[in-house]
Amino acid sequence: MHHKTIVQLSAALAAGECSSEELTRAFLERIERFNPPLNAFITVTAESALAQARAADQRRRRGEAQPLTGVPIAHKDIFCTDGVRTSCGSRMLDPFIAPYDATVVERLAAAGAVMLGKTNLDEFAMGSSNETSFYGPVRNPWDLEAVPGGSSGGSAAAVAARLTPGATGTDTGGSIRQPAALCGITGIKPTYGRVSRWGMIAYASSLDQGGPLARTAADCALLLGAMAGFDPSDSTSVDRPVPDYATLLDRPLAGLKIGLPKEYFGEGLDSAVAQVVEEAIAEYRRLGAETVEVSLPNSALAIPAYYVIAPAECSSNLARFDGVRYGHRCEDPKDLLDLYTRSRAEGFGSEVKRRILVGTFVLSAGYYDAYYLKAQQIRRLISDDFRRAFEQVDVIAGPTSPTVAFNLGEKVDDPITMYLSDIYTIAVNLAGLPGLSMPVGFVGQRPVGLQLIGNYFAEDRLLNVAHRYQQTTDWHERSPAGF
């Protein structure tokens, strides 16, 4: 059962081949057995999962089932879950029990999905390897010495190891696509504003976007369909109808124009990864697509601009964690300032502190124009690059990440090298565009991801383009040995 995709599980439930309770029990047993070596889950909500599963089975008996009714999923522990710890991978929020559900959590529950638990992540979603979590690193099921990517590494590892058929993630600079790539699964970051950020703990609000991780594009289509849509509680949510992604998957690719940015295939890209990506692009040509070279001339500026804008926004967003209203509070503060400073010093890890410091610096009066304003101008240039490219092509394709999964500990002491893991994903967030990653092969035993970038609100096209590839290839069906 655990090898079935969400689409297959949904069909099995509909055909009465199994109940949601049986399915949920089976995944909970797998989590119990395999989570210790992987550390993909921070919290497992077994009892409430079984209660939700029984309720789903009842709804199905009454003839009220939707496609996701009774399908188990997991949530990245950045989404608030009513009555359940919502830690954001931080000591700061380790004691925090959210008093409400994030819109994404509420919508997936309303669609009938069963929550198995909350997955591990880099602290406050800051990282590319899942090594900054207060709860310890997650391991990659394809190779336990390797990182799963980050920050949605727990979700990606859990899906890859078949501990859950699907999971939620968030992507500020690559955190859905890069771990999907490193763990050999499919994940999509929607257009900014497509999925509500209400109840999703903020890292960099103008970049953060929630989305699904699953084995296939068809599964992502089902999950995204349930997650997306206007939410009056999020002022940046866009009021625009949600297409029925699942019914738009099969459109043929003949005549599709795929742009290959020359900047994504140059220096810095591992040659073995490049070869696997080239093969995937060749498959697209066989499927009837045409490929053309495009240029995104400001690509090299994406990382420097991001590492000004994201820390600036995080320094402001994380100011609320002061030990007063919620989260960690130091012992015996001697006065208010001591309460603030010690609670924050104890509650945050070093990567989060680094970013708060950088963010506070670039926003300070003397440096605002030199750094923050400049970064915003670059952001505009990057959006313009994509706008010009999409005048010529329907989608853009390239590697998701310059290398396959690296080893635990390999980059953790070298932030600049770590930041380069997101060189192909960050510009997409700066422009607010949708991006998808899917598995297209291996280097050794470590998976390689292909990134597909679409125009604004072209999630349906990205899912369609990925799905057609998955119809004629089987990389998405490979599973890590031992799981």
Among 87, 151, 155, 298, binds ligand GLN (CB under 6 A): 151
Q: Is 175 a catalytic residue?
A: yes
Considering 129, 152, 175, 437, which one is annotated as catalytic? 175
Q: Is 401 a catalytic residue?
A: no
Q: How far is the CB of 315 from ligand GLN (least distance, A)?
A: 13
Q: Tell me if 438 sits within 8 A of 180, measured CB to CB.
A: yes
> Cβ of 244: how many Cβ atoms within 10 Å?
11
> Cβ of 62: how many Cβ atoms within 10 Å?
8
Considering 10, 19, 76, 129, which one is annotated as catalytic? 76
Q: Considering beta carbons, is residue 175 or 470 the nearer one to ligand GLN? A: 175
Q: Considering beta carbons, is residue 69 or 175 the nearer one to ligand GLN? A: 175
Q: How far is the CB of 372 from ligand GLN (least distance, A)?
A: 17
Q: Does 126 bind ligand GLN (CB under 6 A)?
A: yes
Q: Three-state DSSP class for 299?
A: helix
The neighbouring-strand residues paired with 146 are 407
Considering 19, 151, 343, 421, which one is annotated as catalytic? 151
Q: How far is the CB of 182 from ligand GLN (least distance, A)?
A: 12
Q: Considering beta carbons, is residue 131 or 322 the nearer one to ligand GLN? A: 131
The neighbouring-strand residues paired with 140 are 143
Q: Tell me if 211 sits within 8 A of 224, measured CB to CB.
A: yes
Q: How far is the CB of 177 from ligand GLN (least distance, A)?
A: 9
Find the part of the chain contacting ligand GLN (CB under 6 A) among 4-12, 84-92, 123-131, 322-330.
123-131
Q: Considering beta carbons, is residue 109 or 188 the nearer one to ligand GLN? A: 188
Q: How far is the CB of 419 from ligand GLN (least distance, A)?
A: 7
Q: Considering beta carbons, is residue 28 or 125 the nearer one to ligand GLN? A: 125
Q: Which residues contact 58 (CB under 8 A, 6 or more apart)?
A: none
Angle made by CA atoms 379, 381, 382, in degrees to the nearest 5 = 65
Q: Please state whether the peptide bond connecting residue 151 to the residue before it is cis, i.e. omega within 30 degrees of 0.
A: yes
d(CA 114, CA 24): 8
Task: Report the side by side order of strands in the sheet with 446-454.
Answer: 41-44, 114-119, 72-76, 166-171, 209-214, 186-189, 435-443, 446-454, 395-399, 257-261, 290-294
State both tokens at 241: 């109808």
Q: Are strands 395-399 and 166-171 parallel, antiparallel or unpaired?
A: unpaired
Q: Is 343 a catalytic residue?
A: no
User: Residue 471: in which H helix or E strand, if any?
Assistant: helix 459-472
d(CA 105, CA 414): 35
Of 297-316, binders to ligand GLN (CB under 6 A) are: 310
Of 365-424, binders to ligand GLN (CB under 6 A) are: 422
Q: Does 451 bind ligand GLN (CB under 6 A)?
A: no
Q: How far is the CB of 172 from ligand GLN (least distance, A)?
A: 4
Count of residues that bind ligand GLN according to CB under 6 A: 13
Letters for 13-32 (x = contact with ligand GLN by CB under 6 A, - = none) are --------------------
Q: Considering beta carbons, is residue 125 or 382 the nearer one to ligand GLN? A: 125
Q: Does 128 bind ligand GLN (CB under 6 A)?
A: yes
Q: Does 130 bind ligand GLN (CB under 6 A)?
A: no
Among 84, 105, 125, 375, binds ligand GLN (CB under 6 A): 125
Q: How far is the CB of 149 from ligand GLN (least distance, A)?
A: 9
Q: Does 127 bind ligand GLN (CB under 6 A)?
A: yes
Find the part of the chain contacting ligand GLN (CB under 6 A) among 5-13, 111-119, 122-130, 224-232.
122-130
d(CA 421, CA 413): 14
d(CA 101, CA 174): 24
Residue with structure tokens 């099969």?
250
d(CA 155, CA 175): 10
Of 172-211, binders to ligand GLN (CB under 6 A) are: 172-175, 203
Q: Considering beta carbons, is residue 132 or 237 the nearer one to ligand GLN? A: 132
d(CA 453, CA 462): 7
Q: How far is the CB of 138 from ligand GLN (least distance, A)?
A: 14
Q: How would you classify residue 352: left for phi > 0, otherwise alpha for psi between -120 and 50, otherwise beta?
A: alpha
User: Residue 168: in which H helix or E strand, if any?
Assistant: strand 166-171
Q: Does 431 bind ligand GLN (CB under 6 A)?
A: no
Q: What is the DSSP letter of 366?
A: T
Which sequence positions are flagged as catalytic? 76, 151, 175
Which residues lie near ligand GLN (CB under 6 A)? 125-128, 151, 171-175, 203, 310, 422
